[in-house]
């Protein structure tokens, strides 16, 4: 009888300890964003700032980092990437899953090969090509390489295969075209897969530093990770107050989205099971 509560207490204690370590960076981020420079230097362990300096630090961060531009670029780039990925992948996956398509096996082989290849492997020739076409520092160069997601094809394919054929036959008897079927029958029924993929895609590309770092060298096209890197490089000193304020602002959108739609996030990540 007594052993059960003891086990439970140990379990809770272990989980809490781990949670504290996971949360520590967030706690210090928030705390430091509210400290004056002298506080930061003298009392790094005091979590509550002695002088509340939040407003000043945030003002400094906002004055030096074009936050609106960064967030806007992030939204535009992630939005466009997601839009193209879905528009390109769904018809292909549908054709492979539900139509008599002799090349389906061949395309499947290409998709499996593609799954192996991250952007890091294709970056060099793509960079050379974009450079030749004077497309560096543009939304095109940020978005184009990701318009094809073999992973999306793979995932939608699994999902479509599980869909009943009767639904499609009924739609065809009604005289719907294949595109009409995709838009009005397939997509509405594939909504869970689409949201799962949306979360996967947005998390991956919102976080990506590698490709933006390569094709963008101007503040105007910087995505949030890149913008933060510029800011840190420019503020080489130890102004951690402003830096933490900037960090906080830039981390907030995705974290807020996660907290609001937790269940979907976890589902999305487990369903897609991949990142980066």
Within positions 115 to 174, which residues make up the interface with another protein, using CB under 8 A?
116-118, 120-128, 131, 144-145, 147-148, 150, 153, 165, 169
In whole angstroms, how far apart are CA 50 and each of 24, 27, 47, 54, 181? 19, 16, 9, 11, 63
Residue 65: name the closest of 253, 216, 233, 237 by CA: 233
- CA dist 32 and 26 (Å) reads 10
- Give the Cα separation of 132 and 128 in Å (integer): 6
List binders of another protein among 14-43 (CB under 8 A): 14-15, 18-19, 21-26, 28-29, 32, 40-41
Place of tokens 């390109």: 88
Between residue 241 and residue 270, which ones bind another protein under the rule CB under 8 A?
243-244, 247, 250-251, 254-255, 257-259, 262, 265-266, 269-270
Shortest Cβ 220–another protein spacing (Å): 19
* Residue 263 CB, nearest approach to another protein (Å): 9
Residues 13 and 7: their CA atoms lie apart, in Å, by: 10
Q: CA angle, corner 190, sides to 186 and 196, nearest 5?
A: 150
Confirm or reject binding of residue 2 to another protein (CB under 8 A). Answer: no
Q: Which of these ranges, 57-65, 134-142, 187-195, 224-232, lies near another protein under the rule CB under 8 A? A: 224-232
Q: Which is nearer to another protein, 22 or 68 (CB)?
A: 22
Of these, 12, 52, 72, 83, which contacts another protein (CB under 8 A)? 12
Least distance between another protein and beta carbon 138 (Å): 16
180 binds another protein, rule: CB under 8 A: no
- Residue 240 binds to another protein (criterion: CB under 8 A): yes
Q: How far is the CB of 240 from another protein (least distance, A)?
A: 5
CA angle 248/42/23 to nearest 5° reads 35
**Residue whose CB is less far from another protein, 26 or 52:** 26
Q: Is 192 in the site for another protein (CB under 8 A)?
A: no
Q: Is the CB of residue 250 less than 8 Å from the CB of residue 227?
A: yes
CA 269 to chain centroid, in Å, comes to 11
Residue 109 engages another protein in binding (rule: CB under 8 A) = no
Measured distance CA(160)–CA(90) in Å, rounded: 9
In the complex, minimum distance from the CB of residue 52 to another protein, in angstroms, rounded to a whole number? 19
Q: Does 234 bind another protein (CB under 8 A)?
A: no
Helix ranges, the chain (H)? 3-32, 37-42, 54-64, 67-98, 104-116, 119-132, 139-143, 150-161, 165-173, 178-181, 187-189, 191-207, 210-215, 224-234, 240-260, 262-272
Residue with tokens 């980066």: 276
Regarding 187 and contact with another protein (CB under 8 A), the answer is: no
63: contact with another protein by CB under 8 A:
no
Residue among 24 and 234 whose Cβ is closer to another protein: 24
CB of 176 to another protein, least distance (A): 13
Considering only 57-65, 109-117, 134-142, 190-198, which stretch makes contact with another protein by CB under 8 A? 109-117
């Amino acid at each position: 009888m007594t052993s059960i509560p003891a086990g439970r207490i140990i379990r809770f204690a272990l989980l809490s300890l781990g949670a504290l370590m996971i949360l520590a960076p967030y706690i210090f981020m928030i705390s430091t964003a509210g400290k004056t420079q002298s506080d930061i230097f003298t009392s790094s362990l005091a979590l509550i700032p002695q002088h509340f300096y939040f407003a000043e630090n945030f003002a400094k961060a906002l004055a030096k980092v074009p936050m609106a531009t960064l967030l806007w670029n992030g939204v535009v780039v992630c939005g466009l990437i997601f839009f193209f990925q879905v528009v390109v992948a769904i018809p292909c996956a549908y054709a492979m899953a539900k139509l008599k398509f002799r090349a389906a096996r061949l395309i499947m082989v290409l998709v499996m090969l593609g799954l192996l290849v991250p952007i890091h492997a294709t970056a060099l020739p793509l960079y050379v090509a974009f450079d030749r076409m004077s497309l560096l520092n543009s939304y095109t160069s940020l978005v184009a390489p990701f318009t094809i997601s073999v992973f999306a094809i793979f995932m939608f394919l699994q999902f479509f295969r599980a869909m009943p054929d009767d639904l499609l036959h009924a739609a065809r008897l009604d005289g719907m075209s294949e595109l009409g079927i995709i838009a009005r029958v397939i997509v509405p029924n594939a909504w869970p897969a689409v949201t799962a993929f949306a979360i996967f895609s947005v998390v991956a590309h919102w976080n990506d530093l590698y490709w933006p770092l390569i094709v963008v060298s101007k503040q105007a096209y910087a995505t949030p990770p890149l913008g933060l890197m510029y800011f840190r490089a420019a503020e080489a000193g130890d102004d951690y107050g402003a830096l933490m304020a900037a960090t906080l602002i830039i981390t907030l959108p995705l974290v807020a989205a996660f907290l609001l739609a937790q269940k979907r996030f976890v589902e999305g990540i487990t369903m897609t099971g991949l990142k980066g």
